[in-house]
Structure 1
């Protein structure tokens, strides 16, 4: 590693594939904006195969040239205690990142890097809302050496400040997830509805192709629907069967997504660092110092509660910022579908004094439900009256039904709200059909805010917002004396203990 210090280095040629794939991903992320042009082009040239082939060839050529240029203009240098990166074709980007600013080191290994054993190194800092630096294609040995050099540099700084010797590195496995666990996570997660939402613009064309496919099998759909030889329950059974097949297919996609994302999941601990490794096509490695941990979250939707599973999240610095992405976020470490006992063990490993599994929560004021119910009432009931006056009886009934459902959800959400405090931590509970439990140290609070509306002042209530490095947490409709006590406790501990929040 030291042989390369001070020299400007080029990437391995395998990085060309990375740049090409990244270009395709960027286009895919903006596909929604390109759909009108794609549909117009397809309608005009669908019968001209030569034009389509020529267009695809030109696109592939453009992707290849773009990847080659990005590869050619990318170079990096490792000097004493710094990483420097020059990149960009038309817009030049120069990054000079001192080791002491680096707060998080992550590895990614796409599937096309595995034959050559190369790795992407991602470097995060606490002072930026986006990824600070990314070295695209490092040999794995070089990447591991650089990672150890960065971590050793920071450890030496802390040890010198405290006159201590750095501890030897030793990894201990805390948790791993089997394929069965990942299947449960896929079934219980919301990926099914995400997929359905993404397919919504294509429902018409998909239904037409589905009907055409059935007719190709010799089934006359129009005659079937117009026929009176079938009983009503047979039609109901037919459509329920189709719905079951569609939902089963979507569930399969969700399970596949879960397995691909979290495949071979392992959470280990080395001294004061947690290390998460997972991924089938792209291997991800995230390193998080315990001091950067801001909040522990137990997340359960309704199916998780039925299956008695918990999604455990370690929220760290910048967890709500742009650098996170689903499943592979740099802002948090998520352990999918653990049992309640496993979740409690992991939380106790990080913060032994927390009482997340045993604390008793205080309810928020019932006037939260009253206020929200009144808002729903004045929005929907007058609307139903107007609709009924103009002869839209069905819409009027639908509006009243919506009000009843809204009231039920408002009451359910109010009953989920809860809060508690002990000598070291603040605890929150909230949700709707599912439930989330949150726990964070009092000394991690960076900002407090107490607010009152006219409605709250009448009943001596308030809402308190506590801002952490991972985002703000709100306690709504609590007694004003309680809110002032929470704020005073937070400010006192921050001032008296003077512990670092990172």
Structure 2
């Protein structure tokens, strides 16, 4: 046994006790930030109270100090109580965590059940070499746990101890399971030997992150939170420019302006707004993905990134449910794409863009980088060569002919009856735009299958490609409405541990064949989905 391994075991042994332990006082910083973040996250719901309180304080300036003190005292009290009631202990291959002030929570996780260990190091922990450790299982979200303040070296040692215990348990189960192939058992048996031999698969430069920020803009979420304050913000902007002798309100009056002046103002305003949105989005991408690395150690993929808060996410290859290639319309112009490794979801719901806990995202890669990642995960995939089958044109009939058109003609008749020509033209423009978008959606839908994988293509202006092994399918659904049944069509759905993927408007025969083939493959292969 080398010195490094002996040191790791000594660190673990030091904390192996039946006595409950409190975390370091540095953890109070974590609880403070958590409370503040919770307030910020509910700003939309708190906006009416904040606005009323703000107006009351402006009307009575002498009360702002007592109000501020009450808020600070409430935050500090909540921080101390959260810290005081947070305890954990390690004993006999288990980790137990107690937390909660009013709603008590007690989590007991055996090391062998922990599927994933994630380390998160906020900016305020770095000078003190502390980190947060999140533990999750393949069960419900209630089984997830987080130790919010551990020494970094101890967290790293504990992480290896947990993964080694889980690996040993997996090997023992595989020895008893005759359905597992020899190749799978051999791959898992070599994992522990290669834990310290990481292979770097991908890194992202600052220019890549800038492109990702420009092509994956989520600024509308920020604007939604600011909606209650738009009036105050607008007034502040007007007052700011008036200090420099610029009257914004007069510039925006178009009655006395020529057409070229109006166009120039509109173009300038659009450019300024888009510049602000782009800068905000680029900053978000840099904060999230700065110093991004994707490594592989044995059968585990390890993603590290973050400017202010460093994140480390580990994913076992056996937990990987599907790979996704995403391209928005701007990604397609720049010939870039985002790659997602979707793993087992704790809550069983479909993934969302902001839910990064159950996925590894590699932002803004080029075509050859995407191919290298896809081939490393699924060596036999045909994502770039397979031909996709389209869906039925009845998709257009149902969405345009039965839904959009009747509403449009009703609205159009109403406007024409009341001689509202301008509104009628506007309704027509909207109708045509919706028809174009639905047609684009129809053209994007596609599916394919080979002996190992199911491929699904969908999108609207952009395009997304999904690839998952057939043996990962846990459940299938055959859906047929009155309209679909009348035209001998169906919608089928494949349910995986990471969520569901559906193929709409395909023939009954094709739908039944796809479902039967998937179920036969799952049953005959007898391979585990995790």
* TM-score, L = length of structure 1: 0.95
Whole-angstrom CA distance in 2 between matches of 1:19 and 1:443: 42
Note if contact 1:313-1:335 (Cα within 8 Å) is conserved in structure 2: yes
Aligned-partner Cα distance in 2 for 1:281–1:49: 36
Pair 397,270 (structure 1): closer, same or farther in 2 beyond 3 Å: same
Deviation at 1:227, TM superposition (A): 8.8
User: Per the alignment, do residues 222 and 191 of structure 1 end up closer, same or farther by CA in structure 2, a change over 3 Å counting?
Assistant: closer
Deviations 1:39-87 (A, max 9, x none): 1111121154432232122211221121112111211000111110111
> Is 1:17 matched with 2:29?
yes
How many corresponding residue pairs?
Answer: 502
Aligned to 2:434: 406
- Further displaced range: 445-454 or 257-266: 445-454
Corresponding residue of 2:5: none
1:319 positional shift: 7.0
Which of the residues 11, 16, 24 maps onto 1:5? 16
Deviations 1:352-395 (A, max 9, x none): 01111221111111111121111100122112212322344433
Shift of 1:288: 0.6
Matched ranges for 1:21-32 at <5 A: 21-32=33-44
Instruction: Note if 1:368 corresponds to 2:380.
Output: no
Partner of 2:58: 46
Indicate if the aligned counterparts of 1:268 and 1:274 stay in contact, CA closer than 8 A.
yes
Q: Distance in 2 between matches of 1:155 and 1:264?
A: 29
Aligned structure 1 segments of 4 or more residues deviating by more than 4 angstroms: 162-166, 221-230, 319-328
Between stretches 387-396 and 431-440, larger displacement belongs to: 387-396
Aligned residue for 1:432? 460
Q: Which structure 2 segments of 5+ residues have no match?
A: 1-11, 176-185
Q: What's the CA shift for 1:224?
A: 4.7
Question: In structure 2, what is the Cα distance between the partners aligned to 1:476 and 1:242?
Answer: 42
Q: Report the CA distance between 1:145 and its aligned residue.
A: 1.3
- 1:103-502 aligned at under 5 Å gives the runs 103-129=115-141, 132-162=144-174, 165-166=189-190, 167-168=192-193, 169=195, 170-221=197-248, 224=251, 231-318=258-345, 329-374=356-401, 375-502=403-530
**1:93-108 → structure 2 map (5 Å cutoff):** 93-108=105-120
Instruction: Give the Å deviation of 1:310.
Output: 0.6
Q: Equivalents in 1 of 2:168, 2:369: separation in Å? A: 34
Distance 2:424 2:476 in 1: 44
Instruction: Compare 317-326 and 24-33 and name the one that shifted more.
Output: 317-326
Separation in structure 1 between the aligned mates of residue 434 and residue 66 of structure 2, nearest angstrom: 54
State the shift of 1:284 in Å.
Answer: 0.7
For 1:425-444, what per-residue CA distance to the aligned partner results, in whole angstroms no more than 9, with x for missing partners? 00000000000000011111
Q: Distance in 2 between matches of 1:369 and 1:212?
A: 51
Equivalent-residue separation in structure 2 for 1:225 and 1:141 (angstroms) = 59
CA shift in 2, pair 1:365/1:325, >3 Å = closer
Structure 1 window deviating more from structure 2 (407-416 vs 393-402): it is 393-402
5+ residue gaps, structure 1? none
- Distance in 1, Cα, partners of 2:349 & 2:519: 29
In 2, Cα distance between the equivalents of 1:114 and 1:131? Answer: 28
Structure 2 distance, partners of 1:439, 1:193, is 30
Change (3 A) 1:118 1:226: closer
- Contact 1:290-1:350 at 8 Å conserved across structures: yes
Give the match for residue 91 of structure 2.
Answer: 79
Deviation per residue, 1:9-56 (Å, 9 max, x gap): 110110011111101011111111111011111112115443223212
Q: Distance in 1 between matches of 2:143 and 2:359?
A: 14
Residue 218 (structure 1) shift = 1.3
After superposition, the Cα gap between the structure-2 partners of 1:230 and 1:307, relative to the gap in structure 1 and judged at 3 Å, is same
Verify the 8 A CA contact 1:460 1:479 in the aligned structure 2.
yes
CA distance in 2, matches of 1:368, 1:428: 17
Please say if residues 204 and 292 of structure 2, whose CA atoms lie closer than 8 Å, have aligned partners that are also in contact.
yes
- Structure 2 length normalisation: TM-score? 0.90
- Aligned-residue Cα RMSD (Å) equals 2.0
Check the 8 A contact 1:369/1:411 in 2, yes or no: yes
Structure 1 residues 422 and 324 mapped into 2: Cα distance closer, same or farther (>3 Å)?
closer
More deviation in 190-199 or 239-248?
190-199
CA distance in 1, matches of 2:356, 2:253: 52
Counterparts of 1:106 and 1:432 in 2: how far apart (Å)?
Answer: 34
Instruction: Report the 3-state secondary structure (helix = DSSP H, G, I; strand = E; otherwise coil) of the residue aligned with 2:128.
Output: coil
C-alpha distance 197-240 of structure 1, shift in aligned 2 (>3 A)? farther
